[in-house]
Amino acid sequence: MHFETIAIRVGQEPDPATGSVIVPIYATSTFRRQSIEQEGGYEYSRVANPTRAAAEQCLAALEGGKYCLLFASGMAAESAVIGLLKPGEHVVCIRDVYGGTMSLLRLAEGRGIRYTYVDATRLEEVAGAIRPETRLLWLESPTNPLTYVVDLQALAELGHAHGLLVVVDNTFATPYLQNPLALGADIVVHSATKYLGGHSDLIGGALVYNRDDLHDPLWDQQAVGGGILSPFESWLLLRGLKTLAVRMRAHEANAMAVARYLQEHPKVEQVLYPGLPDHPHHALARRQMRGFGGMLAVYLKGGREQAVRFCESTRLFLLASSLGGVESLIGYPPVMSHASLTPEERAERGITENLVRLSVGLEHIDDLLADLEQALAKV
């Protein structure tokens, strides 16, 4: 089946009790057992719930995975992966990574987990950071916030050559535009809050994987750890997945138009969008992805004052955290997504005072461009 058909049909057969074509919200904490010795079926919703199971089955199919586990947030999903590590083990992590991931690694340092950040666009730097105690290679592509694209297949091969678990955060691309498992990754991470849900009305996270040996330990992290996605939010996620393909096509069309417009504006220093030919990783993105997504990084001419004035002057681009919803959002990474970093750490990653992040939504493109024009006129 094609992507659009999978998104609407897999895991979503009509309800056998009523014929409902939409999976019901099973708002129950527990289930009647048929016997003391019952094997299989549902028992307790922390362990398994039919609505969550339907969403897990659908997302697994979209990513080309055998297993999917849904969590209460993207950070809960990431915590489950880090929960596989033992004290003394080491993580090699891409330098341009979501700020919450960096906060999680700092938290893990308290229980003896060590980590090293690398420029993952340079294979030799990644290889040089691997130690005997390294267990995990953590990647993101495109990255948050700078939209860098890294060679997932080459990095997965490098990681596996050293016996590492290779994890890829696929939040920006979504399974519609990229499938890291097919490129060699062991685990795909999503913040389902973003494009998968797509309507800014749920908080959720996901892990998708194929390896049987990972299933029991990751399932323990979900079911025993208890950070599960609720039945209602699982239902919202299923609703969002149904329109993921059409939304991502529209996000990309609008983002490309916004990127081209900003690229020519005299008050803009640089636009980073993988779909632009001058993006440093455009050729790789064309080869590795099926499209370029809806996220842009924009460097304005000037500094903090100009960036803040721009962010606070837009009307349709709402100043808010998060991304990937139908509405356009604008963010200021130095004090929002990457506020936990020191000024030196931000500078090292290119998160400078004049950087703005745009999540381009589905409003009419003429209205979005007019909004950017009036905001830039105030800078």
Q: For the segment 76-107, what is each residue's pLDDT rounded down to a tens digit?
A: 999 999 999 999 999 999 999 999 999 999 99
Q: Rounded to whole angstroms, how far apart are CA atoms 300 and 304? A: 9
Higher pLDDT, 219 or 337: 219
On whether both 19 and 68 belong to a single domain, the answer is yes
Which pLDDT belongs to residue 40? Answer: 83
Beta bridge partners of 318: 329
On whether both 261 and 365 belong to a single domain, the answer is yes
Pick the last residue of a domain from 189, 220, 242: 242
On whether both 196 and 221 belong to a single domain, the answer is yes
* Burial class (CB within 10 angstroms; exposed 0-12, middle 13-18, buried 19+) of 174: buried
Domain that holds residue 44: 3-242
Which CATH number do you get for residue 283?
3.90.1150.10
Tell me: cis bond preceding 343? Omega within 30 of 0 counts. no
Beta bridge partners of 295: 359
pLDDT tens digits, one per residue of 224-279? 999 999 999 999 999 999 999 999 999 999 999 999 999 999 999 999 999 999 99
Which pLDDT belongs to residue 37? Answer: 85
User: In the predicted model, is pLDDT for residue 287 greater than 90?
Assistant: yes
Q: Rounded to whole angstroms, how far apart are CA atoms 208 and 217? A: 13
On whether both 179 and 294 belong to a single domain, the answer is no
pLDDT tens digits, one per residue of 291-333? 999 999 999 999 999 999 999 999 999 999 999 999 999 999 9
Active site residues: 46, 98, 169, 194
How many distinct structural domains can be found in the chain?
2
Which CATH number do you get for residue 231?
3.40.640.10
Tell me: cis bond preceding 50? Omega within 30 of 0 counts. no
* HSE value, Cβ hemisphere, 13 Å, CA-based, for 49: 27
Indicate the pLDDT class of residue 342, thresholds 50, 70 and 90. confident
On whether both 92 and 114 belong to a single domain, the answer is yes
Which pLDDT belongs to residue 227? Answer: 97
User: In the predicted model, is pLDDT for residue 340 greater than 90?
Assistant: no
On whether both 238 and 309 belong to a single domain, the answer is no
Pick the last residue of a domain from 224, 242, 260: 242
The per-residue b/e assignment along 188-199, b for 16 or more CB within 10 angstroms, e otherwise, is bbbbbbbbbbbe
On whether both 180 and 91 belong to a single domain, the answer is yes
Task: For 105, list phi and psi in degrees, rounded to 5.
Answer: -65, -40
On whether both 208 and 347 belong to a single domain, the answer is no
Pick the last residue of a domain from 227, 242, 257: 242
On whether both 55 and 198 belong to a single domain, the answer is yes
On whether both 35 and 150 belong to a single domain, the answer is yes
Which pLDDT belongs to residue 34? Answer: 86
Q: Where is average pLDDT lowest: 103-117, 155-169, 194-208, 335-349?
A: 335-349
Backbone conformation region of residue 48, classed left if phi is above 0, alpha if psi is from -120 to 50, else beta: beta
On whether both 367 and 344 belong to a single domain, the answer is yes
Average pLDDT over residues 107-120: 97
Which pLDDT belongs to residue 196? Answer: 98
On whether both 249 and 235 belong to a single domain, the answer is no
